[in-house]
Amino acid sequence: MLICNNHVSDTQLSAIDDLAALCRAADGGVPPLYRHLLIEKRATDNNVFYYQDNHLAGFLSVYFFYEDACEISIIVDPTYRRQGIATQMLQSIMPLLLTKQINTVIFSTPAKLNDEWLSRLGFHYQSSEYHMQRHSYEPVLISRRELTMRPATAADIPILSVIDEACFEAAKETDMAARFNSLLNDNNYVIFLASLQEKPVGKAHIRWQSDDAILSDIAILPAYQRQGLGSELLAWCINNSLSQGKTHLALDVETSNQGALDLYTRHGFKTKDANDYWAISIDKLRTLS
């Protein structure tokens, strides 16, 4: 039985966690499920549940992070695989993708899982990321304070856009004003602007959750990098989160970004998952599903 909805209940979230644990044991990891988005009421029915004998055998969720592309996470109980469950869930979500005029679909998988099979099907490898976590009550000592930090406002969107475009390749394909307006209006989200001698030089995003915090988009303008400012910015984010009672912190980083990996490791983060990202055109995906 297929069920589609725009909001995951506590009972459904518990079932998803159980399913993810089974997949992790079998595959060595699970794709990112973005729990903070699952529990929100989204504008469309982005979640698909597949039940068999009252057991959650499969789950799919689609995330519209980009203008003409989306990311899809799929998990299927290992004992129920090769029964067409993933195909049925994809078919059920396809009308929504077409309505949204999606051209490219991005799938994430545990690292090195089914690489040859995905390539044969017409998927194209994009990148790999580590999901890292920090569990500690210990703050980070900031030996030299040079940055001043403050929450960003709508008036800061132009400089936030400049920082993103300079530091993140994907930002060039995004409607920056719309993205930042949405984030700044989210009560569980805050963007901090970092300034050096009153000049904005970096930023960091923190999403507050009930028991933890997710750090993202940590960036220092290229002209100010390699001066210890990135380390100070990260340390400030960690300490600020701890001051809010959040001792469980998480972030994602590309596996090829060795400098960032070293920085996060020095600040107490450890790798939890490694995921590969694969893209396929919507037209090609329709022929497969």
Query: Are 27 and 7 members of one domain?
Result: yes
* CB proximity list for 262: less than 8 A, separation 6 or greater: none
Q: Give a yes or no: residue 199 inside a domain.
A: yes
Does residue 187 fall inside a structural domain? yes
Regarding whether 118 and 226 lie in a shared domain, the answer is no
Q: Is residue 256 one of the residues assigned to a domain?
A: no
Model confidence over 142-164: pLDDT tens digits? 988 999 999 999 999 999 999 99
pLDDT digits 0-9 by tens, 6-25: 999 999 999 999 999 999 99
* Domain region containing 67: 2-128+276-288
Indicate the number of domains in the chain. 2
Q: Is 106 exposed, middle or buried (0-12, 13-18, 19+ CB in 10 A)?
A: buried
Please check whether residues 8 and 123 belong to one and the same domain: yes
pLDDT for res 255? 92
Q: For position 172, what pLDDT does the model report?
A: 63
Residue pLDDT, tens place only, 33-65: 998 889 889 999 999 999 999 999 999 999 998
Task: Give the chain's largest Cα–Cα span.
Answer: 63
Token pair belonging to 63: 């995330």
> pTM to 2 decimals?
0.84
